[in-house]
A = this chain, B = another copy of it.
Amino acid sequence: MLNDGRTSERRHLRADAGSTPTPVTYYPVPLQMRLLENAKAIEGKPYADAFTRDLTVSPDWSKSLQDGPMPFDRTMTPSIADLARFASDPEGYPDSGYALLDGPTAYIQSRVVMPGVTTEMFRWWFTWHPIENERYSLWYPHAHVSNRVEYPGRLADKSLSFEERLFGNVNYVEEFIGATSLPIHIHFSHPRDLGMDEDALDRAGLTTSVSGTLRFGMAPEVTSALMLHLARDTEAGMELFSRYWIGAHPELHRFPGAEGAAALLAKMNLDADGALQLAYDMSVHDMTEYSHLARILPRLFSAFGKRD
């Protein structure tokens, strides 16, 4: 029998705790075809041996996304107050889940500890991978199509800080979320420009951020999402907290261009059911790509990060 008590308990387990990763059992057809193309494109690259089709995820994590939407009172909005509440107690939320919020807004949250990974490696990854599509494909070989960065010279400039290299340096990404390929412009930004309190993040040790607002390529003037990736080093490995709000949430209106999001979503057929399915598909995407990055990053950093 289904045991609801047990299930909701499971939500609080660490994604990496005692759960041996098992193979991903489902890839929509376009992702299967993309894998074959990516496998061909990467031949001859010095990092080609890090490319694999055999992705695995924690069964506890994937199961925690299979109970329907998470309880509404465990979600957070992108309001400045909720962001402050999160920074003051990042562990006070279920590890992973998805939900439908006002807007409609697809909401996704996750937390993962990556043994053997450090925030230094993670920062390096975001300066290294956007330079070639094939590097980007390593991260999620079935779903990642292409990535181009607005100022590659700035991203590569080691005389600058990580923040100076990445923030305000748009990533033009194409990737599959669920079975749909989406062009996404990631406007990486300083957390304070996203409404977060720097001191509070410092107190939580969350000093590495690859967060930003997102715009879809078909409406590059419309801010359609806020994405948080906040990381800290722990004894068990790098701990990453992620949040996505994709949609027309009222609290996103503080970002320029967000007023067009509701009309855009309607045009993309993202009604309530569509946004909820997008939330689940994005949560599976997030689980898959961060589980896999955790596996390949130490080796890539040791082979290519030291020279950078």
Query: In the bound complex, how far is the Cα of B63 from the Cα of A282, in angstroms?
Result: 22
Chain A, residues 274-289, CB within 8 Å of chain B (1/0): the string is: 0011001000100000
Query: In the bound complex, how far is the Cα of B228 from the Cα of A97, in angstroms?
Result: 39
CB–CB B25/A25 < 8 A: yes
Query: In the bound complex, how far is the Cα of B28 from the Cα of A22, in angstroms?
Result: 19
The oligomer's copy count stands at: 2
Identify A1's interface contact among B27, B48, B62, CB under 8 A. B48
Identify A276's interface contact among B23, B29, B51, CB under 8 A. B29
Query: In the bound complex, how far is the Cα of B274 from the Cα of A11, in angstroms?
Result: 35
- The residues in A between 159 and 193 inclusive whose CB is less than 8 angstroms from any CB of B are 179
> Known: A36-B68, A66-B32, A66-B53. Contact between A26 and B284, CB under 8 A?
yes
Query: In the bound complex, how far is the Cα of B49 from the Cα of A43, in angstroms?
Result: 51
Closest-CB distance, A212 to chain B (whole angstroms): 27
- B residues in contact with A35, CB < 8 Å: 2, 66
CB–CB A27/B66 < 8 A: yes
- B residues in contact with A276, CB < 8 Å: 29
What 10 additional pairs, Cβ within 8 angstroms, besides A1-B39, A26-B284, A29-B69? A1-B43, A22-B22, A23-B25, A23-B59, A24-B25, A25-B26, A26-B62, A28-B277, A35-B66, A36-B67
Query: In the bound complex, how far is the Cα of B10 from the Cα of A23, in angstroms?
Result: 15
Q: Does A236 contact B (CB under 8 A)?
A: no
CB–CB B2/A51 < 8 A: yes
Q: Does A33 contact B (CB under 8 A)?
A: yes
Query: In the bound complex, how far is the Cα of B27 from the Cα of A277, in angstroms?
Result: 10
Q: Does A57 contact B (CB under 8 A)?
A: yes
- B residues in contact with A39, CB < 8 Å: 1-2
CB–CB B36/A1 < 8 A: no
Identify A29's interface contact among B2, B62, B179, B277, CB under 8 A. B277
Closest-CB distance, A77 to chain B (whole angstroms): 21
- B residues in contact with A48, CB < 8 Å: 1
- The residues in A between 40 and 83 inclusive whose CB is less than 8 angstroms from any CB of B are 43, 48-49, 51-53, 57, 59, 62-63, 66-69
* Residue of B whose beta carbon sits closest to that of A141: B2
CB–CB A23/B26 < 8 A: no
- B residues in contact with A62, CB < 8 Å: 23, 25-26
- B residues in contact with A25, CB < 8 Å: 22-26, 57, 59, 62, 284
